[in-house]
Amino acid sequence: MIRPTLQISRDQFRTNIAAVERRIAPSALMLVMKDDAYGHGLGWAVEEAADAGVTWFGGYDIRTALRIRRLLVGSQRVLAWATSTDEEIAEALLHDIDLGIGTSEYLRRVIAQAQSLGRRAHVHLKIDTGLRRNGVLPTEWDGFVAEARAAEGAGTLEVVGVWSHLAEASDPEDDEAQQVFLAAVDAVRRAGSSPELLHLTASAASWWRPELRGSLSRVGAFCYGIRSADGPELDGIRPIATLSVPVVHVDDGDAVIAIGSFDGLPSTLAGIEVGTPAGLRLLREVDATTSIVAGWPGMQPGDQVRVLGPGDQGEQSATTLAERIGTVGEEILTRLTPRVRRTIV
Ligand SMILES: *Cc1c(COP(=O)(O)O)cnc(C)c1O
């Protein structure tokens, strides 16, 4: 069966991680791995990152965090921040997963599970700094912190971190969010906890806004080489994945390639240019299971067309393609279905 391939470079992944770590130091990297490592596949990525010395992994949900934990052999830390069921909370506590907590209701359930297991939960309290997406409002913060502190006193919980997520809509808004964040950290300290881990920034703000970085930076996109849509190129960072698609047949001067919208390639990408052995050519059409590329002299079945990648054959990055259709690079990569074979090189 002829299938498209997402070829992924371990070396480039390590290069990107190193570039991010250099850039954000002394803030430590938490490598974010949601959505199956942004569509690149979780297993190899966890192993490679651990081998490169990454000490913090961000799983988004507990299920992903547990998969990461199973792949690790050392004492690296793993954080899951999506609100979850009691069963999953218990699993997380048994496997030393740190929990991000953004509602009082979730806090109470985590405390109850920790109590019944006789475990101490490691929690990162989340303040809502304006994004309105899972996080305790400043008006409710003191009460929330008092509950966490009481559980800390009782030995069922340890407040190891305080965190939030920035809207990244504008610098002034992010500055304001930081003020709300720092006031929340103060309140936690006044209540008697000593959280060491303060984290506010994801890829873009970690890279471009050093004054907003905490002791940890939660970075996903840039480690995979996905720059921000409408953002500049990044020094030392390149896409780690190349979407390489074989020509299945030649039809009236066009090359028919083995990928279509059912494989997750947005049909709205028709009109972009893709990398062929003879340079850039127009992607004329995206159909259900195949697509049509303007041909080149000597083309034959088996030739590889690069739809996206770091640019070695002229192909454009996922973000550059995403900008053409009003989305972000992550969206294009995470939508590629499992029929797109992931090959790690
Ligand atoms: C996805 C996510 C990140 C990572 O964002 P990137 O822009 O990919 O670096 C960080 N924090 C939270 C809460 C996230 O959901």
Per DSSP, helices labelled H in 209-328 are: 318-324
Residue 247 is assigned to a structural domain of this protein: yes
Q: Which of 224, 249, 269 is the last residue of a domain?
A: 224
Ligand 1 pocket residue status of 223, Cβ below 6 Å = no
pLDDT in tens, 268-307: 999 999 999 999 999 999 999 999 999 999 999 999 999 9
Report the alpha-carbon distance of residue 290 to residue 175 in Å, rounded. 47
Residue 207 is assigned to a structural domain of this protein: yes
**Ligand 1 center to 218 CA (angstroms):** 6
Same domain? 128 vs 158: yes
Q: What percent of the chain has pLDDT over 70?
A: 100
Residue 4 is assigned to a structural domain of this protein: no
Q: Which of 198, 224, 250 is the last residue of a domain?
A: 224
pLDDT of 169:
86
Ligand 1 pocket residue status of 199, Cβ below 6 Å = no
**Ligand 1 center to 201 CA (angstroms):** 8
**CB count in 10 Å sphere of residue 248:** 16
Mean pLDDT (whole number) for 198-220: 98
Same domain? 63 vs 152: yes
Same domain? 213 vs 71: yes
Same domain? 78 vs 193: yes
Task: Answer whether residue 1 shows pLDDT above 70.
Answer: no
**Ligand 1 center to 224 CA (angstroms):** 12
**Ligand 1 center to 269 CA (angstroms):** 25
pTM: 0.97
Same domain? 192 vs 310: no
Mean pLDDT (whole number) for 172-188: 97
CATH code of the domain covering residue 254: 2.40.37.10
Residue 50 is assigned to a structural domain of this protein: yes
Please tell me the total count of domains within the chain: 2
Residue 180 is assigned to a structural domain of this protein: yes
Same domain? 72 vs 209: yes
Ligand 1 pocket residue status of 34, Cβ below 6 Å = yes
Ligand 1: which atom is nearest the Cα of residue 100? 13
pLDDT of 2:
87
CATH code of the domain covering residue 115: 3.20.20.10
Same domain? 250 vs 328: yes
pLDDT of 340:
97
Ligand 1: which atom is nearest the Cα of residue 34? 1
Of residues 273, 276, 280, the one with CA closest to residue 306: 276
Residue 2 is assigned to a structural domain of this protein: no
Query: What mean pLDDT value characterizes the chain?
Result: 97
Ligand 1 pocket residue status of 14, Cβ below 6 Å = no
pLDDT of 46:
98
Same domain? 337 vs 216: no
Same domain? 210 vs 306: no
pLDDT of 277:
95
pLDDT of 220:
98
pLDDT of 133:
83
Same domain? 218 vs 250: no
CA angle 256, 257, 261 (to 5 degrees): 110
Count how many Cα atoms sit within 13 Å of the Cα of residue 305 in the half-sphere of its side chain.
Answer: 31
Decide: residue 63, CB within 10 A, 0-12 exposed, 13-18 middle, 19+ buried. Answer: middle
Residue 111 is assigned to a structural domain of this protein: yes
Mean pLDDT (whole number) for 78-83: 98
Same domain? 41 vs 189: yes
Q: Which of 224, 250, 269 is the last residue of a domain?
A: 224
Residues in the chain: 345
DSSP string, 138-177: HHHHHHHHHHHHHHHHTTSEEEEEEE-----S-HHHHHHH
- Structural domain of 329: 241-344
Task: Answer whether residue 132 shows pLDDT above 90.
Answer: no
Query: Is there a contact between 78 and 59 (Cβ–Cβ < 8 Å)?
Result: yes
Same domain? 27 vs 164: yes
